[in-house]
Amino acid sequence: MSKYLSTRFTNLETYVPGEQPQDMLYVKLNTNESPFPPAPAVQEAISQAEIRLLNLYPDPECRLLRQKLADHYSVKIENIFLSNGSDELLNFFFMAFCDAEKPVAFPSISYGFYPVYACLYQLPYTEIPLHENFRLDPSDYCGIHKNIVIANPNAPTGRAISVAEIEEIVRTNTSHVVMIDEAYIDFGGESCLLLTKKYENLLVCQTFSKFRSLAGGRLGFAIGNPDLIADLDKMKYSTNSYNINRLTMAAAIATLESDGYYVNNSKIIQDNRAYTTSALEKLGFETIPSEANFIFTRCKTIEGGALYRALKSKGILVRHWDKPTIADWCRVTIGSREQMDMFLAKVREILEEVN
Ligand code: PMP
């Protein structure tokens, strides 16, 4: 830290992204990326159409892509906001809607960026505890008269709540904005997108990083009523008008035209999730029921940090947090069957070594 940094940021604890090691090839099951490449049409769209136009700025309004997304989800273009990864959208949510009079609440165990944004903007925030087996009780959020962010399915637990439960939260907090972060919704959960037609205080956040194999392209989006979208636009045009680059825009349009490819990949991931969960159960692991492309699991005989380190030394990366309430657990991204077999083989080796 330099002596010039504003004192506002002296105690800011930044988000620590999952490792992206460049030194050797790992079986990478630590940041919930898709193991599948983008659809062939995406690769063609980038190589042929857009590279020669990179000397020109992209369309700041992203009209073509927003219209495609609007058609895809049966909403209007003015219901769509695009962001540089959904992280940027979450940032704009905290920036636009929260302040000392409008505090924010989110689950105590959830996506680690939420408290970072709250600290960045020096907001009062409440972390609402989860219950047994990391269950989120929707009634903890009903009528609390705060802005609310909930990841559904939740990360890192993988647990989801129902659309009816979300509706109750939105309906009982109409003086505040409820953001449902659906980064992992396409792996078996039920989206609450349609509720945005009924409630003006609901924003749904999704990403192209997981189901749509485009983490490296950085694209997220919000769906909500036009006034909320205009508020997000205000943040964008005060930060970076060209937040979506040309290549990502072309890739995303081709992505939306290849939906069958991604739906099929999601089915494979869901099969591999069931396969991995049951193999781990036979090895004495306890796994939280997941509707995401990862599982949260713990071993009865080896602590989470030790398992993470042992796996890393054998070339497998998973995610572990030191936070006491979840230190026993590891989050394992569900990859291809081959990756999961390599992971399971290394887990068996480790168990033999410790027992
Ligand atoms: N929300 C949740 C719950 C996440 O886990 C993540 C990233 N892993 C994000 C949002 C951000 O994803 P991205 O910025 O790649 O869209």
199: tokens are 């409630």
pLDDT in tens, 334-345: 999 999 999 999
User: Is the confidence at residue 288, as pLDDT, over 90?
Assistant: yes
**Distinct helix (H) and strand (E) counts, the chain:** 10, 12
Helix H or strand E encompassing 150: strand 147-151
Q: How far apart are the first and last CA of the chain?
A: 45
C-alpha 184 to ligand 1 mean position (Å): 9
Protein residues with CB under 6 Å of any ligand 1 atom:
32, 85-87, 111, 151, 155, 181, 183, 207, 209, 215, 220
Mean pLDDT, the chain, as a whole number?
A: 96
C-alpha 284 to ligand 1 mean position (Å): 30
Residue 166's φ and ψ, nearest 5 degrees, are -65, -40
**Residue of 148, 146, 154 whose CA lies nearest to 130:** 154
286: tokens are 């306890």
The Cα–Cα gap between 235 and 249 comes to 20
114-130 average pLDDT score: 97
What percent of the chain has pLDDT above 70?
A: 99
206-230 average pLDDT score: 98
Atom of ligand 1 nearest to the CA of 151: 3
Contact 327, 338 (CB under 8 A): no
User: Is the confidence at residue 49, as pLDDT, over 70?
Assistant: no
Please tell me the predicted confidence (pLDDT) of residue 48.
73
Question: At 279, is the pLDDT very low, low, confident or very high (cuts 50, 70, 90)?
Answer: very high
Residue type, 67: Q
**Residue of 319, 274, 289, 304 whose CA lies nearest to 111:** 319
Question: At 354, is the pLDDT very low, low, confident or very high (cuts 50, 70, 90)?
Answer: confident
Pocket test for ligand 1, best of 109, 111, 319 (most atoms within 8 A of CB): 111
Q: What is the pTM of this model?
A: 0.96
The Cα–Cα gap between 106 and 140 comes to 10
**Residue of 309, 316, 319 whose CA lies nearest to 340:** 316
Which of 17-21, 35-39, 93-97 is predicted with the least confidence, judged by mean pLDDT?
A: 17-21
The Cα–Cα gap between 48 and 64 comes to 18
- Bridge-based pairing of strands 202-207 and 178-181 is parallel
Contact 294, 317 (CB under 8 A): no
**Residue of 117, 43, 59, 110 whose CA lies nearest to 246:** 59
Angle at 329 between CA 328 and CA 330, to 5 degrees: 140
